[in-house]
Structure formats: structure tokens, C-alpha cells
Structure 1
């Protein structure tokens, strides 16, 4: 059956998706998160959606729990690494104790905030990912949760919900992929900011975990030890996380916000966030027209300030910086 007959017109599907997304978070809840006053041992993990957030949540939590052999007692990862903007709407208290508070272990928070809206954390880990792959993953993540499979094309989704974003007009909006990246790029020389690349995590998980462990260590805790790194690598592989995928299924936000979005309470519950995030899937699946539009936006927003003609050039710039 043609998609138009099965779901109505694509424009109706886009309007419905916008309506559903409008209920995902409240203004008061989001503002409460963005007004959070970080403590001395707080660390933010910031990415655009679908750029490695869950992976870094797992890595960071396993680093701080490594002295106890690691911790997988949580039901969903955002229970132990709260989502800053959504915590209040999920019934979570950002001031509540986290794992190891009494021992002065790091406290971790997930956020999609660009630098201008992010609270001033003592330490911030930024994860960047190829824009083609981010877009494809974002689309696949929403499909069969926020919109029915086949009701909205990838190209239309990109135009309406990804490429059209820019600088946020209010704190209720996330910055575009490009503005988010550029805002944190401007802090590349700030010792309180660690910038990672999703592709480097794929290529050298141990090396990148070592960088994170060193970065989040403090006066009381040195996490940059062979045993800690070994443990964290084992519990942060695709195979391990896939085996334990129910711990990473976004159930907190789904149970708390689905009905507010006009969705069934169990919508999207069967979708896994743990997919084999290979490099270059976007290049294979995005249309040439869409890839050209992404590259044009890159040149307009990112290249103008960084001098990097594409994402890979940016990644190589940081490889050169980090090798010094």
C-alpha cells in the first residue's frame, strides 16, 4: 500500500511529528536542568543527538565504578547519568546523590546543550560524529517511535527537523548540529573541555577510554590505571552493550513522556539504542542531494570559522593537536 494511503500525506505526518515532539519536555523542566549549578566534581557529557551520548554515559559510569568491579545494577543508564534537560520531567532530582558521592567520585550528566546554554561545568566531555551518520541515526531512532515507518522520508525529515535548525531563539530549542559543534570547537583550548570523535572510539576504544579516565580523575581518584582501563573497555564494547541492551533503551523518557507526546505509553519500547554504529553508513544511505546539502551547510557554518573543508579535515586537525 502506498505510504500516502496508509498514513495520510507526508505533510500530515510531519505536522503530527512536530505535535508529538512538542510534548516531549516542558519549559519548566528544561529550564530547571539548564539552570543547574554544577558542583566541583561534576562532569557534563554533551553531544548532538545520536553522536555517542549513551556510549559515553556507559564509559564514564564504568570508570567511576571500576574499583568495585564496575556497576550494571541500574535499569537504564540515565538513572545513574541523568539527562540534564529532561530530568525534572522524568521525576529525577539533579541534586540527588549519584554513585559514589560519599567517596567524592565524579558526578556525570548527559546534555545536548550547545556551549552558550550549557551550565558552567568544571569539566565537559564533547563527542563529535560525522554529520551524515548523525542524521541517519537520528532518523532511524525516531522511526517506529515518534512516526510510523514509511510515513516520512529521510530527505523530508532532514529538511524539517535537522538542516533547518540554526542558532536557538530560546532555551527550549537545541542548537543545530553545526552550531553545537562550532560552539564547542571555540573552546578547544580550554583544559576543562575534552573533545572526542565517535570514529576514534570505534577505531581505538582503549586509547579514547584512557583519555576520558585521565580527564575525569581528581585529587582523590586516579582512574588512569591498567586494571580500570581493561575493565571499562570490556564493559563498553558493542558486544557487551548489545548483550545488556535493556540497560540502554531510553525507557525512562519513554515511560515518563510518551503519553504527554500523544503516544501510547509503550511506544518505541521495542527499539534498541545499541546498533552497530559503523562509520560511513550515512554516505551509503543518504541521497546525493542530501549529502550535498549537508556539505553546503558545513561550508556555510563550520568551514568559515575553522578552515576545515569537511568533517574528516576537522577530525585530522584534532589528531594532529593530540599527537603533540
Structure 2
């Protein structure tokens, strides 16, 4: 039973081809093995929907625990992706190169292994949709094969509640599944936009959450430098997902070099989607937010939701200091 085993009614032929290719990306045995992983209490999970700052947070966490080491082939070799690890020949039970152990996942709360610590990174949904399209372009589809509006509406917005462990939740259902656990001591909520605006403060929060010893100014400075766009772009081959592409392209029916011509590191401008996506598509994304997210979080927009979480975090910090 592949990850995207159902082809929704109404999808274009081009989007159906993308879904069919994606269906080979994970094996059922590999995904179920990852979801069945039993973490230790100190293990740290980086929890995101795709294109919400996953690789960026992987780098931050690894730089903190390794005190700035760049001695790795690709970031997912040292911070494994639990859903794909088995298919890449990685053993999640093995000790990692530094402590605490860190893992990446796109699971919504219901499917995520329980018992560790969770850094949940969220990003404006329109920017996520645009970034997802750019990420898949020239990997799962050729430039021009699938239109941007077509992709957002028929692929990204078409997702909903998973019918089984083999499916990922939509952006919107993923968010509300983790929102219901905000404020817990083992859950750290981080906004992509905050990483853009004040990376140092985010790194400090992550260091405290992970329990990094001796996280002095020198270490924080190094991690901020190594997690900057300029540094990661200069080391792009260590963040380009080439391990999964080399191992899984054939299973997806893709050429061996598919997706290898472009890296993942982009400047990630916040608000770029509002300048790029048609107004009608932005309206569809907003409508999906109001339908799925707003009734649960009590906020009609992502911006209002971010403000609400910031206020809660500030209140929680004040209570801890009192």
C-alpha cells in the first residue's frame, strides 16, 4: 500500500502521474518500521510538513549537539528521516554521531512515535505550497509538465485526513494535530518566519529545549553562522537530499539523476507566495484554513494564529520566571 495510493477524482493526468511516481518513494514495510520506532525520552524529533523549514532545523539541531561539526555527507545521514530510514539502509536504533539523537518526520501527531521531545516547525501555508511546487519541479515532474495552480489545487490542497499510516496528513490537519499539544514541556513550537527574523533567538530556544550543555555565546554564534543561508548555500551538497534520490528514484520510475540538478537551499522569502500565486489560489488556501484550522485554533488567518502562539509562549515564559 504506497504512500499516495489513491488518485483523487478530478485530478489532471499530469498530477496523477506525479502521485503515481510518488507512490514508489517509500515501501510499506519501511514506513511502518519507522512509525513503530520506540524513542528514548531524550530523543528529539523535528516535526514539519514538507517545505516548512525541515532541513534548516535539522542543521540547527545537529550543529548544537555536535558543536558546529560539518563532518557529514548529507544532513539526513546524521539526522535520519524516520519514515524513509529503513528504505535507505539506516537503523534508527543505532547510536548517532552526537547526543541527543535527532530525527526528522513529516508525521502528524497521531502517527508519530511517542516518548521523545518534539520541535514543531510551521510556516505560512501559501509559502509552503509554493516551496513544495518548486521542490518537486525537475524531480517528480519536468518543468512545464505540471502548472503551479494545478499542483496546489489538485495535489497539495487535495490532501486531507490520512486514511491509513501510509498517507501523510494535509498541511492543515497536520497543524491542528500538533496544536492540541502546544504548551507541553516536551513540545517546542517554532515558526519559520521567526527563524527568518531572529535566528539567534530561535537557536537559543532550541538549545535550551534540547538540553545542550555549555550552550554559551560562542556556540550559539557558531550555530547561527552555520545555519545561515549563505553558509548552507555554500555547502549545498550536504543538504540536497541526494541520498534519498539516489536510492529511491528508480522505485519511483524516475531517471537516476532526477532532482540532482538543483539543491534544496533557497532563501525562502516569507510572503513570496502572495506575489506569485494567483489570487484565486490564495483564496482557496485561505478557505481551507478557515474550514479546517480556524474552528480548532480560533484564528481566521495564519498571521493571527502566529500572534496567538507568541502570546501563549510569552505568558508561559513569564510563569516559569515567576
TM bracket, shorter-chain basis: over 0.9
Measured after TM superposition, the shift of residue 156 of structure 1 is 1.2
> 1:199 Cα shift?
0.2
Distance 1:150 1:38, change over 3 A: same
The match for 1:202 among 196, 200, 214 is 196
SS of the equivalent of 1:82 reads coil
1:235-255 deviations in Å (ceiling 9; x for gaps) = 000000000000000001100
SS in 1 for 2:268: coil
Q: In the alignment, which residue of structure 2 is the partner of 1:227?
A: 218
- Output the CA distance in 2 between the equivalents of 1:223 and 1:29: 37
**Equivalent residues of 1:43, 1:121 under 8 A apart:** no
2:254 matched to 1:256?
no
Q: How far off is 1:189 after superposition?
A: 2.0
1:291 pairs with 279, 282, 285, which one? 282
Structure 1 residue 146, shift from structure 2 partner: 0.5
In 2: Cα distance, 1:295 partner to 1:212 partner: 30
Answer yes or no: is the 8 Å Cα contact 2:12–2:154 preserved in 1.
no
* 1:94 alignment counterpart: 92
User: Does the residue aligned with 1:45 lie in a helix, a strand or coil?
Assistant: strand
How far apart, CA to CA, are the structure 2 residues paired with 1:23 and 1:77? 22
Distance 1:121 1:140 in 2: 34
Distance, in Å, in 1 between the alignment partners of 2:63 and 2:155 is 33
Q: Report the CA distance between 1:40 and its aligned residue.
A: 2.7
**1:223 CA displacement:** 4.7
Q: State the TM-score, normalized to the length of structure 1.
A: 0.92
Change over 3 Å in CA distance of 1:223–1:309 after alignment to 2: farther
Give 5+ residue unaligned stretches, structure 1: 1-9
Could you list the structure 1 runs, at least 4 aligned residues long, displaced by more than 6 angstroms after superposition: none
- For residues 159-174 of structure 1, the aligned pairs below 5 Å read 159-174=153-168
Structure 1 residue aligned with 2:29: 28
1:80 and 2:81 correspond: no
Q: 1:26·1:89 contact (CA, 8 Å) conserved in 2?
A: yes
Q: Distance in 2 between matches of 1:227 and 1:167?
A: 44
Name the CA distance, whole Å, in 2 between partners of 1:119 and 1:286. Answer: 35
Partners of 1:237 and 1:142 lie apart in 2 by 23
CA distance in 2 between counterparts of 1:130 and 1:223 reads 33
Aligned to 1:273: 264
1-side partners of 2:214 and 2:305: how far apart? 29
2:15–2:155 contact (8 Å) kept in structure 1: no
CA RMSD of aligned residues (A): 1.1
CA distance in 2: counterparts of 1:113 and 1:59, whole angstroms:
20
| Corresponding position of 1:179 | 173
Cα shift readout 1:136-173 (whole Å, capped 9, x = no counterpart): 00000000110011111111111221111111000010
Tell me, in whole angstroms, the C-alpha distance in 2 between the residues paired with 1:11 and 1:313: 34
- On the 8 A contact 1:127/1:195 being kept in 2, the answer is yes
Q: CA deviation at 1:231?
A: 1.1
For residues 313 and 198 of structure 2, the distance between their equivalents in structure 1, rounded to whole angstroms, comes to: 14
CA contact (8 A) 1:213 1:223 kept: no
Could you tell me how far 1:273 is from its partner in structure 2?
Answer: 0.4
**Partners of 2:46 and 2:58 within 8 A in 1:** yes
